[in-house]
Amino acid sequence: MGPANGVNCVVHSKGGTATREEIQVETKMARRVIQVFLSGLFVLTGVVSAWGAEGNLNLDQCLEIAYESNKTLLQLKEKIHASEYKIEEARSGFFPQLSFSGSYTRLGRVPGFDVPGTTIDFGTANNYNLVLSLQQPVFTWRKIRNSYDIAKYGLSLTQEEYRKTQHEIKLAVASLFYNALLAKELIIVREQSIARIEDHLSTVQERYDKGYVSDFDLLRVKVQLANAKPPLVQAKNLHHLALDNLKNLLGISLSDPVNLEGSLESEPVVVDQTQAEDHAFQNRSELELTAEQRKIGNKALALAKAGNKPSLFGTANYEYKRPYYSEDVWKTDWNFTIALSFPLFDGFLTRSRVKQARSDLRQLDITEKQLRDLIRLEISQAVSDLNLARENILSQEENVGQAKEALRIARVQYEKGLLTNLELMDTEFALTVAETNHLQAQSDYLVAKARFEKAIGKD
C-alpha cells in the first residue's frame, strides 16, 4: 500500500535534517508572517496600548485594542474635533459681531480763533470716546452659507478617513492574527507527527527484539524521528515570531504572555460578484471620500463665483463721549449705517478661481472613475482568492481523510508483514504534509475573507 493520492512523499535521507517539503512549508510560513507584518506597519504605526496583564485575546479584542491605541486613528479623532470646531467657526458668520472700543486724545493745542477781547476754541484739550458697535451681514450672495457648508462636508470627509483607516487596520490585524493561529496549529501537527513516529518506533523496536526486522529498518525509524524534531522547533519559532509581531502592532509588551483564542475553522461565504460590487460602490470609504470632496468642490465653485458679487452690511454704533459736539460734557450718541460693497474689477481674480474650481471638479470625476475600476479589480481578485482558498480547503480535507485512512491500512498491513517499514514511514509523513497543507488552506481562506470584506467596504 503506497501513500495517499495527491500527497507527495519524500524518504528521509539524513538524520537531523528536514525534508524539502517541510522546509518549503516552513519557509513559506515565515515569509508570509514577515510580509504581513511589514505591510501592517504602514497602517498600525506606533500604537500605544494599555495592555499589561496576562490574558487571552480573540480577534475582536485585538481589533478593539488596535482601534483604541493606533496613533493614526488618534490623530484622526483630533482632526474630527478640529473639523467640528471649524463648523462652529463658520457658523459665527451668520451672527452679528459686537465690539467695544475706547479712546482718549489729548490735544497739545486746541484749535480756535481770536475775537476782540477773547479766544473761541473749537473743542477741548481732553477728548474721550467710548463706542459699542454692532455689525450684521445682511446679504453676502451666500458666501457665508457656502463657507458653512464646506465646513460641514469637511467633517464628513474626516469621518470617512477615520473609517477607511479602520478598514485597513482590521485587515492588517486579522492577517497577523490568523497567521499566529496557523503557527500555533502547526506546532500541534508537528507534535502529533513525532508522537506517531515514536509509537511506530516502539513497534519496530519490539519487532526488532523478536528478530522480525533488520537493523536497517530500526535505524530508518530513528532517523525519521530525528528529522521530525527540527520542524517542531521551526514551528515554535514561527509561532513566537507571529505572536510577537501581533503584540507589536497592538502595542502589547513582547514580554507579556498572550494566548490567542480562535479557530481556523470557518463557514463558507457565498459570494456574488455583482452584488459585491454594488455593496462596495455604496460603502467603500474611498468613494464616500470622493463624494464629500465633490460636495466641497461644488460649494467652492459657488463661493468662487460670488467673488465679484455685491455684499450688504448693516452697522450700528452707540457712543458715550466727551466733548459732545461743542459742549464739554459726557453724553450719548448713536448712528446706523447700511453699506454696500460691489467689486467692479478684481483683475480677473474671480474668473481664475472659477476655472480652478471647475478643474478640481473634473479631476474628481476622473478620480471616481479610476476608483470604481480599481474596486472592481480588487473585488474580482478577492472573489477569485476566496474561491480558490475554499477549493483548497475541500481538496486538503479530502487529502487528510485519505492520508489518515492510508496510515490506518498501512499499520495493519505492516503488522501482518504485508508492507515494508519504508512504505509505512512514507505514509506517516504523507499525513503530516496533508494536515499542514489543510491548516495553510484554512488560514488562506480566512485571510482571503478579510480581504474580501475590506474590498466591499464591510465594517
pLDDT, tens only, 3-29: 333 333 333 333 333 444 554 544 555
Looking at 169-326, which runs of residues are DSSP E strands? 258-260, 311-322
Average pLDDT (440-454) is: 94
Q: What digits encode the pLDDT tens for the residues 111-164?
A: 887 777 777 778 889 999 999 999 999 999 999 999 999 999 999 999 999 999
For 265, 270, 334, the CA distances from 183, given in Å and listed in that order, are 15, 27, 83
Each as own residue / partner, the long-range contacts of residues 76-82 (CB below 8 Å, 24 or more positions apart, any chain) are 76/158, 76/161, 76/162, 76/165, 77/162, 79/158, 79/161, 80/155, 80/158, 80/159, 80/162
Are 229 and 12 spatial neighbours (Cβ–Cβ below 8 Å)? no
For residues 53-66, give the mean pLDDT.
Answer: 84
Q: What is the DSSP letter of 93?
A: G
User: What pLDDT is attached to residue 270?
Assistant: 85
Strands (E) across 125-235 are located at 126-139
Q: Is 291 exposed, middle or buried (0-12, 13-18, 19+ CB in 10 A)?
A: middle
CB 26, CB 436: distance < 8 Å: no
What are the E-state strand segments in 17-68?
A: 55-57
How many residues are given for the chain? Answer: 459
CB 131 within 8 A of CB 101: yes
Summarize pLDDT for 310-343 with one digit per residue, the tens: 999 999 999 999 999 888 899 999 999 999 999 9
pLDDT digits 0-9 by tens, 177-236: 999 999 999 999 999 999 999 998 998 888 888 888 888 888 988 998 998 999 999 999
Rounded to whole angstroms, the Cα distance separating 258 from 246 reads 10
pLDDT of residue 28: 54
Angle at 81 between CA 79 and CA 87, to 5 degrees: 105
Alpha carbons 387 and 376: distance in angstroms, whole number: 16
For range 368-373, the mean pLDDT: 96
* pLDDT higher than 50, residue 1: no
Nearest to 62 by CA among 183, 169, 187: 169
The residues pairing with 314 across neighbouring beta strands, listed in sequence order, are 136, 338
What's the Cα-to-Cα distance from 353 to each of 342, 356, 406, rounded to whole Å? 18, 5, 77
Q: Which 3 state secondary structure label does DSSP give 44?
A: coil
Considering the chain, what is the average pLDDT of its residues? 86
Quote the pLDDT of residue 32. 53
In three-state secondary structure terms, 315 is strand
In this predicted structure, the answer to whether residue 94 has a pLDDT above a threshold of 60 is: yes
Confidence band for 55, pLDDT divided at 50, 70 and 90:
low
Q: What is the mean pLDDT of residues 400-408?
A: 93
Distance CA 78, CA 162 (A): 11
Give the position of cell 450688504.
312
- Report the distance separating Cα 81 and Cα 84, nearest Å: 5
